[in-house]
């Protein structure tokens, strides 16, 4: 039996073979602690880390000294939001703004800070899944210290106007953070010429390894001062304690170098496949596309098939396709996605949404096969429902 077709690139991308070779080589040959710079092998490991830092900085156009390595974008989000709060609070700016559709690692940080005395405003979105810049402008006050808005939603692929939002925040004297994880491999970013002060990235969303990420924090005007949220040996200029993951960091740097080489080609090819898949699904089934169909990642679609429950669809197709439901299933109940709830309320459209995410390994000849699988499984489920 052939392996299922992988349509869950938003959850995790397959590691690029060249990146894997880099990780294996560094794991084998450069095992010294990069903090042990007093001997030659430690110095060699430290150079590998700094090479990766330079590769990432070149792709997103920032200074190497503005990058802090983490264990992924969840940690990067925590360091950005929790780490910035002390500074903005001391400056008399305890008001924070985010959106209702952020990744849980962002939402949980704001929930925590709210319990610590912060005042948090959570922006809603329209049915296209986008925030209102007018609403952002209205809720900003002289006490707003930080605004955090994701670049691309992990469930719908919808892009937010982060450059405009960042400029609005900066004009009001607030720091601006964006979780850029989902957009890393498919959306160009020029941090030097942007109003973004903090940005989070993760390796496994960009054909790199799991367990490694990076946080950008501006050291230009305004200089972002962060308080550490982990304590220990003082690595990464005291902002992130813990022995650096040299092989993972090397893989992350290599993955970002490949992004710079492949992005334009990837965007064009993957978007064409996504559009073809969407067209054939619409011709075959009663489907609704969830979210803005223009301002979205080129690889992503969130869809609802009338009358079809995603968990049943996933179970029926588990040997054929790998994809994700937007709702979370537990032993006792199904919880509708907070993203789809924000867009549509507690409706069948929200409850029955699921996500398809294409990637570099998706092939042209797979598109019609994917449609056939969905058509067969949906027909069987609808038939069971009517009987």
Q: Are 314 and 355 in contact (CB under 8 A)?
A: no
| Closest residue by Cα to residue 144 from 120, 110, 162 | 120
Q: Are 195 and 175 in contact (CB under 8 A)?
A: no
- Segment (H or E) for 69: strand 67-70
Strands of the sheet containing 353-357, edge to edge, are: 287-289, 300-305, 353-357, 324-325
Greatest C-alpha distance within the chain? 74
Q: Are 130 and 99 in contact (CB under 8 A)?
A: no
Give me the torsion for CA of 227, 221, 201, 42, rounded to 10°. Answer: -70
SS3 call for 243: coil
Extract the tokens encoding 386.
Answer: 């009517």
Is 329 known to be catalytic? yes
**Based on the number of CB atoms within 10 Å of its own CB, is 36 exposed (0-12), middle (13-18) or buried (19 or more)?**
middle
Residue ranges of alpha helices (H) inside the chain are 17-29, 40-60, 73-90, 104-115, 133-139, 162-171, 246-284, 310-316, 338-344, 348-351, 366-386
**Based on the number of CB atoms within 10 Å of its own CB, is 332 exposed (0-12), middle (13-18) or buried (19 or more)?**
exposed
Annotated active-site positions, please? 329
């Amino acid at each position: 039996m052939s392996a299922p077709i992988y349509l869950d690139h938003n959850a995790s991308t397959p590691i690029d073979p060249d990146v894997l070779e880099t990780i294996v080589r560094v794991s084998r040959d450069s095992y010294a602690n990069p903090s042990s710079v007093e001997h030659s092998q430690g110095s060699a490991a430290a150079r590998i880390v700094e090479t990766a830092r330079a590769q990432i900085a070149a792709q997103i156009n920032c200074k190497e000294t503005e990058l802090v390595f983490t264990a992924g974008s969840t940690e990067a989000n925590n360091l950005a939001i929790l780490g910035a709060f002390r500074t903005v609070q001391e400056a008399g700016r305890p008001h924070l703004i985010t959106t209702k559709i952020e990744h849980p690692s962002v939402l949980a940080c704001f929930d925590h800070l709210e319990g610590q005395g912060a005042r948090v405003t959570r922006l809603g979105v329209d049915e296209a899944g986008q925030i209102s810049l007018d609403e952002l402008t209205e809720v900003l006050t002289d006490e707003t210290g930080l605004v955090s808005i994701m670049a691309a939603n992990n469930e719908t692929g919808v892009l937010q106007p982060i450059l405009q939002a960042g400029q609005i925040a900066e004009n009001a004297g607030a720091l601006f953070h964006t979780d850029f994880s989902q957009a890393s491999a498919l959306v160009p970013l020029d941090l030097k010429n942007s109003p973004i002060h903090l940005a989070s990235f993760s390796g496994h969303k960009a054909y790199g390894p799991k367990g490694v990420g990076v946080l950008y924090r501006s050291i230009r005007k305004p200089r972002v001062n962060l308080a550490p949220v982990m304590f220990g040996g003082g690595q990464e200029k005291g902002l992130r304690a813990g022995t650096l993951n040299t092989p993972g960091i090397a893989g992350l740097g290599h993955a970002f170098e490949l992004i710079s080489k492949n992005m334009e080609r990837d965007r064009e090819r993957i978007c064409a496949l996504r559009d073809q898949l969407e067209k054939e699904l619409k011709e075959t089934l009663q489907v609704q596309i969830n979210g803005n169909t223009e301002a979205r990642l080129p690889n992503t679609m969130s869809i609802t098939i009338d009358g079809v429950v995603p968990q049943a669809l996933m179970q029926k197709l588990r040997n054929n396709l790998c994809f994700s439901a937007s709702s979370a299933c537990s032993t006792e109940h199904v919880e509708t996605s907070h993203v789809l709830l924000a867009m549509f309320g507690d409706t069948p459209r929200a409850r029955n949404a699921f996500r398809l995410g294409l990637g570099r390994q998706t092939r042209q000849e797979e598109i019609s096969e994917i449609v056939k699988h969905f058509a067969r499984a949906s027909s069987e489920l609808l038939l069971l429902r009517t009987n």
